[in-house]
Chain A
Amino acid sequence: MIYLDNGATSFHKPAAVKKAVMDAMDRCANPGRGGYAAAMEAARQVYRCRELAGELFDCRPEQVVLTSNCTHGLNIGIRTLVRPGSKVVISGFEHNAVTRPLHAMNANITVAGRRLFDPEDTLVAFEKALRGGADAAVFTHVSNVFGYILPVREISRLCRRYGVPFIIDAAQSAGSQSVKLDDLGADFIAMPGHKGLLGPQGTGLLLCGRGIEPLLYGGTGNQSIFQQMPEDLPERGEAGTMNVPGIAGLSAGVRYLLESGVETIGRKESEQAKRCAKGLEKLGFQVFSGRNQGGTVSFVPKVDCESAAEFLAKMGIAVRAGLHCAPLAHESAGTLETGTVRVSFGYDAACWQTDKFLAAAGKLQNKTEKNKISYCYPRGNPL
């Protein structure tokens, strides 16, 4: 299989990740719950993950809250910053992991910047929205649908200038773009452990530039006498038993990134995405590509996108079709009705993958020229 669905999860993980998971299952009990060797080893594994994450993302170990995925971290951040009626600025490329919690909080949402691959437009729109007064901002670093790399440093600067606390969704950038908590000055940066960080599913990180409101309440392994959650990070955000085997695997993934270099991986992914976009354009697909693009490309086939992805799957190519849990991004790009087929490269991105994918896409194009079927998505307005 040619795996090009790294936007959903990285699939062929480094061998060290699998070994770390298995070792932890053999050697680790519950961290922070005992003083015997297996409990202490579990605590060491957890702390090691915080240290490695701190090294990669430029923060202290206690600023790293271990979550079960990126959505979990985003929910903690949103719960901390947003109240019913809060005015929240978001980009036009947000995932449901951002928009659904905001809707659930009855936030007053302003969408800023809907033009793809146009960082100037994004900045102008954010400045206008922030200048008008906002209680919080939440924005993605890289669009999960189109690979558009938003100008997060500049947006962060604007947020700081206008005194607006902000959350960065690094779901698609952690592991392939530079993400530094200290430098960005973010209140929160949320990310999954199982995508670019190469860890197992069920892991994630929330980098905290400030204290949090807990999402879950329960045992933390410290200050047990009190009925309130501890005030200190990271325990305030980590009620209940942790996913230690997953966390050990995540540490191995982060270690791999520290050794390989995030910029090197990001460059490889971006190069293949460009190559892929060019090839798709030559084949006559409608392709979304431009400057400031990471390792993800979306295109609209001549048949409905799910049928196209099914055809590619039969050819041994794994891609994702549909709305990618990001109807707002599709609305911004004008693909809400059609959806797209998304090709997303990972740390192992290579020319041979792109070539095999393009060969299959060429067959798809030939086969479907005379066989159009109707688009599968109803018209709708998610926001």
Chain B
Amino acid sequence: MKTYFVTFRSVTFAQRGESVLKKSGVNCVLQRTPRWMEAQGCGYCLRLSVKDAVQAVNVLRQKQVPMRKIYLQAEDGDIQEVQL
């Protein structure tokens, strides 16, 4: 199953992202950023389904929650940075 990940510069931005998405009725999961995704260490990200990703990113932009990067993980596990 394809999955999107939105990374943030801080846990607080990730949490604000989670909060604004939930208030907007968009599903997401706050989790640790996988080490292989970003090497800065000790980060948090939001995991999003394909159907929610575009709406989620729009809400985050609209609410001015600073995002770092957006990644798409393919079914075979390959991951690439994407723009939404």
Contacts and interface: CB of A to CB of B under 8 A. Distances in A.
A54 B83 CA distance: 31
Most buried by B among A44, A221, A222, A224: A222
Nearest to A40: B30
Interface string B18-47: 010000000000111000000111111000
Contacts of B30: 40, 43
Q: Interface size bucket, B side?
A: 10 to 19
Contacts of B40: 222-226
Classify the interface of chain A: helix, strand, loop or mixed: loop
B12 A235 contact: yes
Contacts, number: 62
A225 B15 contact: no
A44 B10 CA distance: 14
Interface string A19-38: 00000000000011111000
A234 interface: yes
A234 B12 contact: yes
Closest 7 CB pairs of A and B: A224-B41, A35-B32, A47-B15, A224-B42, A32-B11, A225-B41, A232-B10
21 contacts: A33-B42, A34-B32, A35-B31, A44-B15, A47-B15, A61-B12, A61-B15, A61-B16, A61-B19, A221-B42, A222-B9, A222-B11, A222-B40, A222-B44, A223-B9, A223-B10, A223-B42, A224-B41, A224-B42, A226-B40, A230-B9
Given A34-B32, A222-B40, 7 more contacts: A32-B11, A33-B42, A40-B30, A51-B19, A222-B10, A222-B43, A233-B12
